[in-house]
Homo-oligomer: A and B are copies of this chain.
Amino acid sequence: MPLSEQQKKEIQEQQNQSNTTKRVTAPNLEKILYEVMPALDHGFIRVIDYMGDDTSIVQSARVSYGKGTKQVSTDSGLIKYLMRHWHSTPFEMCEIKYHIKLPIFIARQWIRHRTANVNEYSARYSILDKEFYLPSKENLAAQSASNRQGRGDVIEGEQAKEVLELLKNDAARTYNNYEMMLNQRFDGSTIDESKKGLARELARMNLTLNTYTQWYWKTDLLNLMNFLRLRADSHAQYEIRVYADIMLDTVKKWVPITYDAFMDYRVGGTEVSAKGKEVIKKMIKGNPCDFENSKLSKREWNELMDSFDLKDKIV
């Protein structure tokens, strides 16, 4: 179910808009505004609107009458300082809005981030698109043996084929029955003129969780970074990480200075506990230090060693 001609036309019309404004603009983000950036097999992300840029952070941190910016180097220093010391409010001064199409089980994970504004396509009001997420073969992972909520090796061969068949058939069958109950096809046509359809708010319960939904999602830069820090992380579920990676790239286009500070201090950085600091201090001084005398749990020790690339010390 690719974009309809009508949808393409509507998107095109938005892209062709050219308005004059006294507001600040983010030229690199403007370039991809409204564009459909594909995610997973049938999903996408589109940037619909935004407010502010790097200079807006500086401007509000200084409560300035004008742009509040001095030179790029000073501004960059201030933004890094704010990021390092967990100042939050200046980053709330930029806002962005996305149009996102995503599988329902991912939408359920996503919505746990409450500090955002959401308008979801209503399945009480309309019929959902006939589209389901089916993992590609390389993403068909077995349950991890060591991590209760993670993935292990890829499932291959016959079993992989069976799994994909089950997912595909069940989604198709339940969607067909959804149409039967509605007495209406996804394209709006009636199935049996002599019958009434079940209420849409009821019929939807027959759909599987890999059915696609869509929403408008708007948040400020601070909360977007909180979202991305968790969801672009290697521990996040692959399917949401696909979306997070695309959004990370929109942040780079929108507020490049903030993006750099974010990558350095949050995404690429690490935290060390009070006990962990004692371990690192000993190691720097060349004093003997191993798991046994570290006062850390095995898990903590290994996470710490992993953070500082001391793989040979993992126990």
Contact = CB atoms under 8 A, between A and B. Distances in A.
Interface string A299-315: 11001000111100000
Interface in A208-226: 208-210, 214-216, 218, 220
Contacts of A85: 235
Copies of this subunit: 4
A10 B62 CA distance: 14
A10, A141, A151, A196: most-surrounded residue (chain B CB, <10 A)? A196
Contacts of A34: 22
Nearest to A145: B196
A49 B64 contact: no
A182 B143 contact: yes
Interface string A265-283: 1011111111111001101
Interface of A is mostly: mixed
A280 B269 CA distance: 12
A218 B93 contact: yes
A174 interface: yes
A115 B60 CA distance: 17
30 contacts: A7-B66, A10-B66, A17-B22, A19-B22, A19-B23, A19-B24, A22-B30, A22-B34, A23-B33, A24-B49, A48-B59, A63-B120, A84-B300, A84-B303, A104-B108, A111-B111, A111-B112, A133-B205, A142-B196, A150-B199, A153-B196, A166-B180, A166-B181, A167-B206, A204-B209, A206-B209, A269-B272, A270-B271, A280-B280, A281-B309
